[in-house]
Amino acid sequence: MLSVAALLGPAAGIAYLGAVSYTNERGAVAAQIDRQRQAAIAVAEQLQQRIGEALDQADRATTMEPGDGRAPVAAPLGQHWFWIDADQRLREPRPAPRTPPPSKPAAQFPCELNRLGAADCTREHKIRRARLVALHAGQRAEAAAQWAEAKKQYASATADGSHTQLEALLGLARVCVRLGETSAYEAALAELERRFGDGVVEGVPIRLAIAVLRAQVAGGTALLRVAEQALDGGFQLAPIARFGAVVRVRRALEEALAAQALPAGEAPRLRRLDERLATMRIEARRAAGLADEVAEIARTATAEWQGRPATREPARTIIYRRRADGGAIGLTADAQLLERALSPSDGGLELAAHIAQHIRVLVLPAGVEPDRGWRLLVQVPLGAMLPHLNLALVNPDADPDPLDEVIRERSRRHVIYTSALAVALGLGLLAMIRGAARARELARLKSDFVSTVSHELKTPLTSIRMFAEMLEQGVAQGDSAKMARYHGVIVQESQRLGLLIANLLDYAQIERGTRRYATNRQELGQLARHAVTTFETLRNPESGDAARNPIAVAVSSEGMHAEVEVDRDVVVQALLNLMSNAVKYGGAKPIAVDVGADATHAWVSVRDDGPGIPPAEQTRIFREFYRAPEAYRAGVEGTGLGLALVKRHIEALGGTVEVASELGRGATFTIRLPRIPGAPGDATDFEEELP
């Protein structure tokens, strides 16, 4: 009776006050919402207008004479414009020049038989072979800092007319610098310039290589001068090739600065060089990113501009339209650049400014909400030309909500009475709901858990008993292979039973707070491989190879020797639980186990190709005894403790457990642990696949 009274009394009061105030408030709130929406639509239209203006300016810029870089585009959105001509070639930003196809392999003898006899040709071949061996020996000696030996080998490979002369002269010049032999160094450079001055080595002009070698001897200021000369087009390099050449000079400059300080007056020049180099790097990346988009843009471009996410960077939008000559003009922009394109003097922004203080315009992917700290006032699509983006008007959470100004016009008496009645109603309703929900949830969890654990315990026990009885009755008498298989099933099912009981005991200890961990230094890559091997031994041998999931293990060079402070058995058990889930939900599809590391953390992930996990379930699956509805419908066995134990254990060891999944594309569970600082050692990437 008290519960009913606690609900009905406040409800009646709220109904009365609501009926009185609803009529007055409804019209005012609706008008405010409509004003916000109209302001957002006006801002969206102005953004579309700015995009059209930027495309027009970029179209006109293609007729200008390009300078060092790109033709100027004054519109803010024109910072990253591009141009594809009618032949589907990327003209702006300038792409890296295509490397010529490799020449045909040389004949068996490096000379023409119609000029030399067979004996002379064979002798010439041996001489060239010896020079090539000497070149390689010189390179190895130089790498080992054996300067005298390197000089000797390089000198023997610099014979006139030798095909090794170019690289040998470069090596000889470098070694002579190390030995302090100035005259030999200058002689090697002079010979190099005389014979190969107009050539190219590894994409770098010989004249630039010579200038760098001489500048290395002269010091950091000379190297800085060479880098500036290369940036200013002094060596006739294509823009992208120029970027690579200047990067090499910058590295040589770092080595020079390590040996001697740069004069104080040269520091601004070095900063300007780095700024120009950063700009060139951005242009190089843009050209590389657009290379894969050219064909699709040329195919889909129309007279009306349109936009879509970039293939390589979905956060970046490509906006383009067809030109009159059959080519395409466009620009690339991220959300921040689109937001900055709007001028504060635009009418739409002025209208939005009257709605709330500190209002801000955000461009968001469709379906994405603003970050925490911002209040969403209104959100509208950017139209059919940008279907993947929405425009949102937001203001800080610390600022008042514009709708609150409308609500404050209500009577204070109604606010106080309604709030008090709402609190009373809420408390009464909450008390009833919590009591009923708690009792129902406890009953359901108890029933489900007892039923599930009984079934999970019964399954291995049934197999153990069945195969033991078969052995006792002599079914496999005289057949050693069959007896071994029966014994193997008994052992494996016993291990499964032990793992299940261990999970139950672990959970009981965690709940009582008595779980202790024996931590020590472990290599995460070794733990992952051990877990995979253990998992293979626990598989049901009766399932057959067709039903067994192939497991691919990949350990990166960083992850190979990344050490973590963990309880070995706990981490192995966690990986076994993740792989067991991958088998249950992924069917016979492959399972991938990847190990990696960075400077602070090491991680191991288990990826399956199953049906995936809905976003709403990705946080619930780590609760004790919780199982997703899809698991029940699919008839997948389990206790609902596996992922809960994985999360509890890993967090107790100072790590985290993450899940990434899309419906229909499988799921990836990642265990991330703090890495013990230390050198990783020499290692290479490791990959293996287990059937």
Q: Give the whole-angstrom CA distance, residue 643 versus residue 619.
A: 11
Tell me which of 474 and 235 has the higher pLDDT.
Answer: 474
Per-residue pLDDT, 445:
56
CA distance 388 to 40: 17
Residue 110 lies in a domain: no
130 and 34 part of one domain:
no
pLDDT at 590 over 60: yes
Lowest average pLDDT, out of 388-402, 470-484, 598-612, goes to 470-484
Residue 60 has pLDDT above 60, yes or no: yes
**What whole-number distance in Å separates Cα of residue 187 and Cα of residue 156?**
15
Residue 358 scores a pLDDT above 90: no
Residue 636 placed within a domain: yes
Radius of gyration of the chain (CA): 36
Q: What is the pLDDT of residue 104?
A: 39
- pLDDT of amino acid 5: 64
What's the confidence (pLDDT) of residue 319? 93
pLDDT for res 160: 56
Number of independent structural domains in the chain: 3
Phi, psi of 399 (to 5 degrees): -80, 160
452 within domain boundaries: no
Query: What does the DSSP 8-state code read for residue 478?
Result: T
Whether 511 and 503 have beta carbons less than 8 Å apart is answered as no
> What mean pLDDT, rounded, does the chain reach?
76
Looking at residues 299-309, what average pLDDT do you find? 92
3-state SS, residue 332: strand
Same domain, 628 and 530: yes
Bridge partners, 506 (sequence order): none
Do residues 148 and 204 both lie within one domain? yes
Mean pLDDT for the stretch of residues 326-332: 91
Residues 59 and 201 in one domain: no
Q: Do 58 and 132 lie in a common domain?
A: no
Comparing 467 with 610, the larger pLDDT belongs to: 610
Who wins on pLDDT, 249 or 329?
329
Reply yes or no on whether the pLDDT at 442 is more than 70: no
Which of 66-70, 282-286, 318-322, 443-447 is most confident?
318-322
The residue from 387, 407, 427 where one domain ends is 407
The reply to whether 139 and 242 lie within a common domain is yes
Q: What percent of the chain has pLDDT above 90? A: 13
Lowest mean pLDDT among 164-173, 507-516, 657-666: 507-516
Dmax (CA) for the chain in angstroms is 119
Per-residue burial over 602-616, b = 16 or more CB atoms within 10 Å of its CB, e = otherwise: bbbbbbbbbbbbeee
Q: Has residue 626 been placed in a domain?
A: yes
Q: Do the beta carbons of residue 161 and residue 131 sit within 8 Å?
A: no
Domain edge (last residue) among 354, 376, 407: 407
621 occurs within a structural domain: yes
**Cβ-contact 81, 331 below 8 angstroms:** yes
Q: Cα–Cα distance between 213 and 188 in angstroms, integer?
A: 11
Least confident residue range of 394-408, 447-461, 591-605: 447-461
- CB 141 within 8 Å of CB 153: yes
Do 32 and 134 fall within a single domain? no
- pLDDT band, very low/low/confident/very high, at 344 (cuts 50, 70, 90): low
pLDDT tens digits, 86-138:
888 888 876 654 444 444 333 343 444 445 555 666 776 777 777 778 778 87
- In this structure, the answer to whether residues 235 and 377 fall within a common structural domain is no
Residue 14 lies in a domain: yes
Q: What is the pLDDT of residue 616?
A: 85
How do residues 10-37 score in pLDDT, each as one tens digit? 667 667 666 656 565 667 778 888 888 9
Query: 262, 285, 308 — which closes off a domain?
Result: 285
Which tens digits make up the pLDDT trace of 672-688? 999 988 645 444 555 55
- Which residue did the predictor score with more confidence, 66 or 232? 232
What is the per-residue burial (b if ≥16 Cβ within 10 Å, else e) of 384-401? Answer: ebbeebbbbbbbeeeeee
Q: Report DSSP state, residue 316.
A: S
pLDDT at 399 over 70: yes
**Please, which pLDDT band fits residue 300 given cuts at 50, 70 and 90?**
very high
207-258 pLDDT per residue, tens: 777 777 777 676 777 777 777 777 666 666 655 566 666 776 767 666 666 6
pLDDT at residue 449, rounded to an integer: 60
Residue 371, pLDDT above cutoff 70:
yes
Asked whether residue 232 falls in the same domain as residue 266, the answer is: yes
Query: Pick the residue with more confidence: 667 or 245?
Result: 667
The per-residue pLDDT for 99 is 42
Q: Does some domain include residue 231?
A: yes
Q: Are residues 168 and 62 in the same domain?
A: no
Q: At 376, phi and psi to the nearest 5?
A: -80, 120
Q: Does residue 440 sit within a domain?
A: no
Query: pLDDT digits over 152-202, tens only?
Result: 877 777 765 556 677 777 788 778 877 878 777 788 778 777 777 677 766
CATH label of the domain that carries residue 165: 1.25.40
Which residues constitute the domain of residue 342? 2-75+300-407
pLDDT given for residue 202 in this prediction: 65
Judged against a pLDDT cut of 80, whether residue 630 lies above it is answered with no
Amino acid at 660: A
A 10 A CB-CB count for 235 gives 19
601: left (phi over 0), alpha (psi -120 to 50) or beta: beta
- State residue 381's pLDDT score: 92
- pLDDT for residue 100: 44
Rounded-to-integer distance, Cα 686 and Cα 480, Å: 38
Does 45 share its domain with 149? no
Q: Do 252 and 193 belong together in one domain?
A: yes
